Amino acid sequence: MTRTSGNIHIGISGWRYKGWRGTFYPEDLKQAAELRYASGLMQTIEINGTHYSLQSIDSWQHWYADTPPGFVFSVKGARYLTHLLRFRDETATVACANFFAQGVLALKDKLGPILWQFPPSLRFDAAHMERFLSLLPRDTEAALALARQHDARVKRPYLQIDRKRKLRHAVEVRHDSFVDPAFVKLLRRYKAALVVSDSTEPWPQFEDLSADFVYMRLHGTETKYSDEYSDAALERWANRIETWSRGEQPADARLAAPALQPPRARTRDVPFTVTWRLTPPAGNDQRSYTRPASTYGKQSCSTSSSSDAGAPCRFTYSGDATSTRRLFSASGSAT
């Protein structure tokens, strides 16, 4: 049977937050069991710690073991590369090698898109951006070859793969100069996805299709990382996700390169990550919220003014394209 839509992976950014205790996580759940619990309720989680530092191979192997079959991680690229070196320095190759040598490849079949987020201060420079894109490995064999160039910063390198797998890269930009057809052309040349990012910050939001998947991040609709999307807003995003998953482009898409035809695709996968925190209701208002549906059915939780700020509140969830309108209005983390 011919597929009519791509895979839609819905999840959160990070999973370890103090305010989630007693709201999303049961009070008596051990911290070491949080990932296992969260991964039973959603399809994907974005690993953020990799943005700030190298992680131990033990962590990578635990993450793989603590998640169910079919689960997908997205991994946030090192800020040392994107914010400090900015891929301009000759040491960028070694830094990129360190990133892949730390244990990324230990995720095997659970390794999803690698997210490369650039700072608001970085302007578009075609030569620098092409240097960056050309450095990124396109499959696990190329990543392994790159990882072998690591230096002593990686104490226990992981230098093996189970088999050759395609790697996906997504690029999130935060300067208006990237709203440029030349940038879109570069992304398409290297088959990297543009991150569709929704935020109250003055970051550019454009939706040019450049790969066989769309990476989407919601940062908040009124206050960055700390407010809830309305049903109407989620309906709008759900419609867009369904359109992308069919390999199509929304008719009202905001484009940097409207004259360029998007790459042809019968379907497109859509990793969808929410990255905002919710503040519990003020006063004595006690409200019940629905968590994501899991294989064990729906669960509910409640929160009140006595809960920690940043606690996750309302979730509704579905993993298939035809019922994406029940996307969760959820909680993530500041990224």
Per-residue pLDDT, 207:
95
Per-residue pLDDT, 299:
29
Q: Coil, strand, or helix at residue 86?
A: coil
Instruction: Give the DSSP H/E element, type plus range, for residue 267.
Output: none
Residue type, 304: S
pLDDT at residue 268 above 60? yes
CA pair distance 65, 59, nearest whole angstrom: 10
The CA–CA distances, whole Å, from 6 to 9, 242, 269 equal 10, 9, 4
The backbone torsions φ and ψ at residue 2, rounded to the nearest 5 degrees and listed phi first, read: -75, 130
pTM of the model: 0.82
Q: Coil, strand, or helix at residue 100?
A: helix
Is 282 or 132 the better-scoring residue by pLDDT? 132
Write down all domains in the chain, each with its CATH number in brackets.
8-326 (3.20.20.410)
Question: Nearest CA to 38 among 24, 28, 48?
Answer: 24
Q: At what angle do helices 181-189 and 126-135 cross, to 10 degrees?
A: 20
Half-sphere exposure of 85 (CA within 13 A, CB side): 17
The backbone torsions φ and ψ at residue 166, rounded to the nearest 5 degrees and listed phi first, read: -70, 140
Q: Coil, strand, or helix at residue 72?
A: strand
Q: Residues 300-322: pLDDT tens digits?
A: 222 222 233 333 333 333 344 44
Question: Nearest CA to 239 among 325, 319, 142?
Answer: 325
Residues of the chain with pLDDT > 70, as a percent, come to: 77
Q: Residues 75-86: pLDDT tens digits?
A: 999 999 999 987
Residues β-bridged to residue 45: 12, 73
CA pair distance 201, 221, nearest whole angstrom: 10
The gap between the terminal CA atoms of the chain, to the nearest Å, is: 40
